[in-house]
Amino acid sequence: MDSELKEILKGIKGNRDFYPEDYAEYKVIFDAMHNISKQFGYELYEGPILEYAKLIEYKSGQNLATETYRLLDREKRKLVLRPEMTPSLARLIVNQHQRYPKPIRWYCLPRVFRDETPQRGRVKEHFQLNADIIGVNHPAADAEIIALTTSIIKTAGLKDEEFVCVINSRELLQSYLEFLDIKKKEEVIRIIDAKGKYVQNAIEADLIKKGFKSSESKVLAQQFRTIWQQDPRKEKNYPDIESKSDLAQYLDKLMIIEEKEVKAALESIGLSPEQTSKVYDFTLIKGIPQDVIVALKSLEVGDRVKLAIENMEELLTYLESFDVIKNCEFDMSIARGLDYYTGVVYEFLDRTGSVARAIAGGGRYDQLVESFGGGKIPATGIGIGETVLHSILKKLNRFPSYKHPAEIYVAAISEDVMPAAAKIARDLRKDFSVVFNPFGWKLSRQLEDAGNRNIPNMIIIGKRDLDEDKVTLRDMKSGEQITVLISKLKEELDAKIS
């Protein structure tokens, strides 16, 4: 084979092929997304895969811009393959929102592209459900998006205890930092966001000191951090580290290590010891929403912070009404999207230990539309990628085994009954999924064919039966056969296929 062609046939890195068996798995997720969005009364829209590069550059950060697929059209205009849907949605809204009564509830299942290195739960091209409520800044809108997402994740196959929605408020975080008179808010948020990493780095450094190889230390420290974060303070299944060294000691010390490292980082950017300690204590507040609200209320804070706390409390009441409170936690250390979001932010995390990445993430972005010149239009929304969810469900073995779509295989025994067989197939297709074999194959071969494809029922059409206006209906699994009048065929099949 031509060598160049051979390379080409491998396909483009990080871009996927979906063979029917593969697609069937993704379809479970897609169906959940479409069905639940519809259940919630969201309207389907779509946009172009190509956008002007400037549309993305306007709002998304530099990093996103560099990892976007870029191309030029004939006029040498800079275009991109859309890396996310929100800019396109904002464009649609800016252009024509006056046509639509508010709030707008729209959803979309676009294929989006990012030219970045693939790893678990991340490829260069994926489907990402976007659901947004535009035109109200009511906390119930955020709660509804969370309820919608919860429902999609559960319908796709995860159980309540296998995922969690962690919620924070950028408003609250920022106003608290302001209350503490901290200027470098962005840097503080960045440090808080990377808390786990400080622990990991400390463990890694210590392992190297104890004589572990650098690459080994990295892996062990990573495992340790992951388990610890998913299951803090509980003693379970820590990796082999214990047998390899006296690392079991870390179990008790992780909280202390984290505190020490994070505080050092905070002080290194100029916070006073008092500020540092208040910020750190604040980030420790997390858990079930009711408890967090109580903890927040006991803090000594200013009016703006109080207002933000009240907003969180209001959100809580809607989460209760929508019956998703059991799936939610408040966590003051979640930062997300440094400059994009304006209010509540949330992300859905895996609790089964399968994938460290977020299943979905979203938040309130009240200024995005305005920044495109569209007037003050508040909005909140979520993006749910299909890859992380698929990867978790796959690991948990939740996908049903592949089934051929056809329920019925219509076999003609000889060429002379072909027209009659074709008519029967045509009629049956009004109610069923039907494979018709018009190729003049011998019956034995058609039986084998239907068997190979696991099609459960076969209708055998031959001259003998046909002379009496009958056909043979065979159950492929049991091998049982009956002859039925053509006029009774649908009735008979309805009973078998429910």
Partner RNA sequence: GCCCCGAUAGUAUAGCGGCUAGUAUUGUGGAUUGUGGCUCCAUAGAGGCAGGUUCGAAUCUUGCUCGGGGCACCA
The residues near 140 (Cβ < 8 Å, ≥ 6 apart) are 318
Helices 289-297 & 303-321 angle (0-180, nearest 10): 160
Write down the least CB distance from residue 273 to RNA, Å. Answer: 26
Closest CB to RNA among residues 37, 86: 86
Cβ nearer to RNA, comparing 308 with 455: 455
Nearer to RNA, 15 or 39 (CB): 15
Closest approach, Cβ 468 to RNA, in A, equals 10
Indicate the pairing of strand 434-437 with strand 379-385: unpaired
Please name the residue ranges forming H helices in 40-162: 53-59, 62-66, 86-96, 139-156
Question: From the CB of 128, what's the least distance to RNA, in Å?
Answer: 6
Residue indicated by tokens 């929102």: 97
CB of 428 to RNA, least distance (A): 18
Q: How far is the CB of 125 from RNA (least distance, A)?
A: 10
Q: At what angle do helices 139-156 and 20-39 cross, to 10 degrees?
A: 150
Residue 127's DSSP bridge partners are: 111
Within the chain, how many helices (H) and strands (E) appear?
21, 18
Smaller CB separation from RNA, 293 or 379: 379
At closest approach, how far in Å is the CB of 175 from RNA? Answer: 21
Please classify residue 312 by burial: count the beta carbons closer than 10 Å to its beta carbon, then call 0-12 exposed, 13-18 middle and 19+ buried. buried
Residues 6+ apart with CB under 8 A from 344: 139, 142, 167, 168, 169, 170, 171, 311, 312, 315, 363, 364, 380
Cβ closer to RNA: 11 or 419? 11
Q: Torsion angle of alpha carbons 38, 110, 337, 149, nearest 10°? A: 20
Tokens of 487: 């006029």
Q: Kindly tell me which of 128 and 151 has the beta carbon lying closer to RNA.
A: 128
Q: How far is the CB of 442 from RNA (least distance, A)?
A: 6
Residue with the two structure tokens 């200024």: 367
**What residues line the site for RNA (CB under 7 A)?**
1, 3, 6-7, 10-15, 60-61, 63-64, 84, 86, 116-120, 122, 128, 194, 197, 215, 218-219, 222, 336-338, 340, 347, 356-358, 361, 383, 385, 391, 413-414, 442-445, 447-448, 450-452, 460, 462-466, 472, 474, 476-477, 479, 481
Q: Which residue has the tokens 């046509």?
A: 99
Decide: 334 and 186 in contact? Cβ < 8 Å.
no
Q: 15-52: buried (b, 16+ CB within 10 Å) or exposed (e) per residue? A: eeeeeeeeebbbebbbebbbebbeebebeebeeeeebe
As measured in angstroms, the least distance from the Cβ of 181 to RNA is: 26
Least CB distance to RNA at residue 439 (A): 8
In whole angstroms, give the CA distance from residue 58 to residue 313: 34
Q: Which is nearer to RNA, 319 or 461 (CB)?
A: 461
Of 218 and 304, the one with the shorter C-beta distance to RNA is 218
Closer Cβ to RNA, 71 or 307, answer by number = 71
Cα 355 from chain centroid (whole Å)? 12
Question: Cis before residue 103, ω within 30 degrees of 0?
Answer: yes
